Structure 1
Amino acid sequence: MKIGIDKIGFYAPHLYVDMNNLAVARNIEPEKFTIGIGQEKMAIAPITQDPVTLAANAAVEILDETDKEKIDFVIFGTESGIDNSKSAGVYVHRLLGLNPRARTIELKQACYGATAAIQMAKGHIALNPESRVLVLASDIARYGLNTSGESTQGAGAVAMVMSADPKMMALEDQSSYLTDDVMDFWRPVYSDKAFVDGKFSNEQYILFFQKVWEEYKEKTGFGLADFEAICFHLPYTKMGMKALRTVLEQGTEEDQERLLANYKISTLYNRIVGNIYTGSLYLSLLSLLELKEDLEDGSRIGLFSYGSGAVGEFFTGIVQPNYRAHLHVDRHTKVFESRTEVTVPEYEAIFNKTLPVDGSTVELDIDSDPATICLSGMKDNMRLYINKMNRN
């Protein structure tokens, strides 16, 4: 039985800052952002958007009534969750009007959470072939203004429906994975901003890739020649390239040219969104599927997932026949084209505008946010969400 990704959707907030302008404001050469780390734009989440609303907005456009009835498991991968007890997925479950006879949980392991969700979804569907699982990957990356990590911030979410006989990509059984207790990136519960040892984290990312890649080859006998493309978790778009280059010599010149060209295509969405943590790998996959128009059915795609702290995994998927008919290219193009650029001072003001932490009641202006699903305020220490399609 084939199990994999049946549908995939994406959402980013309607605001962004141009990385050239941010570089100038920080007295940095713009090329260090646009070429050095490979980022052009950075999505900015207004106060009316949080990981819950981003995930719900990514999913709302791809689900039909059959999905809503058959989804009996919602798995929310995030590292910027809003509650230490209640799963962010429970809010999304209500906002989307899903079948109440379902399990709903939240998973955490840095940027690896959504990959863990996918593997859990595969097991559930193997036991329940008629089920569908909604996997959500949603995050807002925050390092702080004028910090070394500021240029690798971002916001967005990817939603995937997992099923038997998937229309988009069937996931293969073999994978390789690795865990090691390293402090390359972390965010204590008392902080709304992450801490990172950038150089060490880059080294660990590459090391983990090399180790899981070599183990995968031993398990399967496959090599670079067997892959049309390899997609990477992308905290910034040059990161995956650094890892890929360490193994390219294992392939022919033709292999190298193919993988490098397709890697570039797989980074195009990430370049104009920024780092979305758990969703970054799957935004890279979406970029490849939607923008490489000559990607052939049956192509094998490699996927490298890395979550600091650290867990890494290399796994693979096979592109399914007629997959392009099930993409949502027009919707995602509209998401990007309808965004509004903000100035650096405006970005800083948005960044510094946060929700109260003392139980105060606050009402937010959701009419200025074009998203279908928004955070409308707080009352009695509870976040209040609105799906505008359900407003009377």
Structure 2
Amino acid sequence: MKIGIDKLSFFTSDLYLPMADLANARNEDPNKYLIGIGQSKQAVIRNSQDTVTLAANAAMKIVDDEERAKIDLVLFGTESGVDNSKSAAIYLQSLLKINSAASGVELKQACFGLTAGIQLAMGYIALHPDRRVLLVGSDIARYGINTLGEKTQGGGAVAMIMSANPRILEIGTQSTHLTRDIMDFWRPLNRDEALVDGQYSSEEFIQFFKETFNLYLESQDETINDFDALIFHLPYTKMGLKALRAVLENVDNLSVKERLLDKFEDSRRLNREVGNLYTGSLYLSLISLLTAGTLKDGANIGLFSYGSGAEGEFFTGKVVAGYEKMINKNSVKFLENRQAVSVSEYERIYRSFLKPQTDDAKTDFKNDPAPFVFKGQENQKRIYDQNNENRN
């Protein structure tokens, strides 16, 4: 049975910060950001958006009335949860008006949550071939103003519907996995912002990729020549390039090197413009590759997922003939309409985010053009709304 991604979508804020402006404000050479980490723009998430609304705004693009009736499992990958008990999947199911017979859970392991969801969905659909599963990876990457991690912030959500006989990507049944207890990135319960050992995390990322990739090649009796593209979780796009170069060092075939490097450039195009999505980063890279329009039907893609702390997994996907009908450059055209903000405005928005508190509070939701917004809290209950006109 063929199982995989049938629909795929992405959402992020309507605001962005030019990375050159941030570099200048921090007295850094802009090329350190533009080339050194490979980022051009960074999504600036409004305080009226959170993990739930980002996910809802992404998923609404692919969830119609027919899907609302057919979806019976919602898997929500995030490391930016809004409640220590209640799953973000429940909020999402309610906002999208998915049938109440569907079940849902939230999955957490740093940036690995959505990939874990894909593996769960594979098994579920194998047992129930007529079912459809909604999966989302939604996060806001926050490290703090004027910190070392500031230049790798961002945010957004990727949503997908998985099913039998998918129309975008058939997921391979084999994968290789690696788990180690390390402290390269973490966020204690008393913190809104992440802590990271940047150099250590980068080294582990590359090592996890090399180990899982080589183990996959060995177990499946394949070589790097068998892949049309290799794509990565991209906390910043230079990270994926470093990992790719680490396995290209011993490749003598220049055409293979050129092909994989060219496809990597296609795959990081959108991530350069948005920044770090945490759980959604690998899948934004997939969207970037698919919407570039350079893949042939049946192309074999290798995907590397990494979640700090740490888990890594290498798996594959085969592009389905006619995928362009389901996702193409028009799917991400909204990114061209975003507005740039100044560094001072970015800092104001960043500081305006609601912190855990007992008092009632409101966000600046009236200025947010997104369909779904987070309005604030009343009696320590989060208030969401869907209405892009005449908000009050």
**TM-score of Structure 1 vs Structure 2, range by shorter chain:** over 0.9
Q: Deviations over 1:177-210 (max 9, x none)?
A: 0000000000011100000000000000000001
Q: Structure 1 residues 366-375 or 299-308, which shifts more?
A: 366-375
Q: Deviations over 1:246-275 (max 9, x none)?
A: 111235111000000000110000000000
Native 8 Å contact 1:9 1:328 kept in 2: no
Give the counterpart letter for 1:252 in structure 2: N
Give the counterpart letter for 1:134 in structure 2: L
Task: Write the distance in 2 (CA, Å) between the matches of 1:100 and 1:328.
Answer: 32
SS at match of 1:188: coil
Task: Write the distance in 1 (CA, Å) between the matches of 2:246 and 2:214.
Answer: 12
The structural deviation recorded for 1:294 is 3.0
Length-normalised TM-score, structure 1: 0.97
1:135-154 → structure 2 map (5 Å cutoff): 135-154=135-154
Task: Write the distance in 2 (CA, Å) between the matches of 1:331 and 1:242.
Answer: 28
Task: Write the distance in 1 (CA, Å) between the matches of 2:360 and 2:235.
Answer: 35
Q: Deviations over 1:123-163 (max 9, x none)?
A: 11001111111110000000001111000000100001000
Give the counterpart letter for 2:280 in structure 1: G
The structural deviation recorded for 1:366 is 2.2
SS at match of 2:203: helix
1:271 is aligned to 272
User: CA RMSD, aligned part only?
Assistant: 1.3
1:51-130 → structure 2 map (5 Å cutoff): 51-130=51-130
SS at match of 1:175: strand
Q: Structure 1 residues 312-321 or 61-70, which shifts more?
A: 61-70
The structural deviation recorded for 1:61 is 1.2
Give the counterpart letter for 2:72 in structure 1: D
Residues 391 and 102 of structure 1, relative CA distance in 2, 3 Å threshold: farther
Task: Write the distance in 2 (CA, Å) between the matches of 1:92 and 1:35.
Answer: 37
2:244 is aligned to 244
Task: Write the distance in 2 (CA, Å) between the matches of 1:146 and 1:269.
Answer: 24
1:201 is aligned to 201
Give the counterpart letter for 1:250 in structure 2: V
Task: Write the distance in 1 (CA, Å) between the matches of 2:272 and 2:130.
Answer: 37
Native 8 Å contact 1:38 1:237 kept in 2: yes
- Gapped runs of 5+ residues in structure 2? none
The structural deviation recorded for 1:356 is 4.8
Task: Write the distance in 1 (CA, Å) between the matches of 2:79 and 2:124.
Answer: 23
SS at match of 1:47: coil
2:339 is aligned to 340
Task: Write the distance in 2 (CA, Å) between the matches of 1:250 and 1:305.
Answer: 22
Task: Write the distance in 1 (CA, Å) between the matches of 2:256 and 2:247.
Answer: 11
Q: Structure 1 residues 214-223 or 177-186, which shifts more?
A: 214-223
2:353 is aligned to 354
SS at match of 1:91: helix
Task: Write the distance in 1 (CA, Å) between the matches of 2:311 and 2:96.
Answer: 31
Task: Write the distance in 1 (CA, Å) between the matches of 2:321 and 2:357.
Answer: 53
Native 8 Å contact 2:77 2:106 kept in 1: yes
The structural deviation recorded for 1:390 is 11
Native 8 Å contact 1:363 1:377 kept in 2: yes
Task: Write the distance in 1 (CA, Å) between the matches of 2:313 and 2:390.
Answer: 42
Residues 39 and 389 of structure 1, relative CA distance in 2, 3 Å threshold: closer
Q: Structure 1 residues 48-57 or 358-367, which shifts more?
A: 358-367
The reply on whether 1:260 has 2:250 as its aligned counterpart is no
The structural deviation recorded for 1:243 is 0.7
Q: Structure 1 residues 18-27 or 380-389, which shifts more?
A: 380-389
Task: Write the distance in 1 (CA, Å) between the matches of 2:38 and 2:121.
Answer: 33
2:373 is aligned to 374
- Gapped runs of 5+ residues in structure 1? none
Task: Write the distance in 2 (CA, Å) between the matches of 1:255 and 1:371.
Answer: 42
1:163-312 → structure 2 map (5 Å cutoff): 163-248=163-248, 249-250=250-251, 252-291=253-292, 293-312=293-312
2:363 is aligned to 364
Task: Write the distance in 1 (CA, Å) between the matches of 2:252 and 2:235.
Answer: 26
SS at match of 2:309: coil
Length-normalised TM-score, structure 2: 0.97
The structural deviation recorded for 1:391 is 9.1
Q: How many residues matched?
A: 390
The structural deviation recorded for 1:389 is 6.9
1:133 is aligned to 133
Task: Write the distance in 2 (CA, Å) between the matches of 1:252 and 1:64.
Answer: 46
The structural deviation recorded for 1:354 is 2.1
Give the counterpart letter for 1:225 in structure 2: N
Native 8 Å contact 2:47 2:364 kept in 1: no
SS at match of 2:166: coil
Identity among equivalent pairs (%): 52
Native 8 Å contact 2:11 2:156 kept in 1: yes
SS at match of 2:35: helix
Task: Write the distance in 1 (CA, Å) between the matches of 2:253 and 2:72.
Answer: 45
Give the counterpart letter for 2:349 in structure 1: I
Q: Deviations over 1:31-59 (max 9, x none)?
A: 00000000000001111000100000001
Native 8 Å contact 1:359 1:381 kept in 2: yes
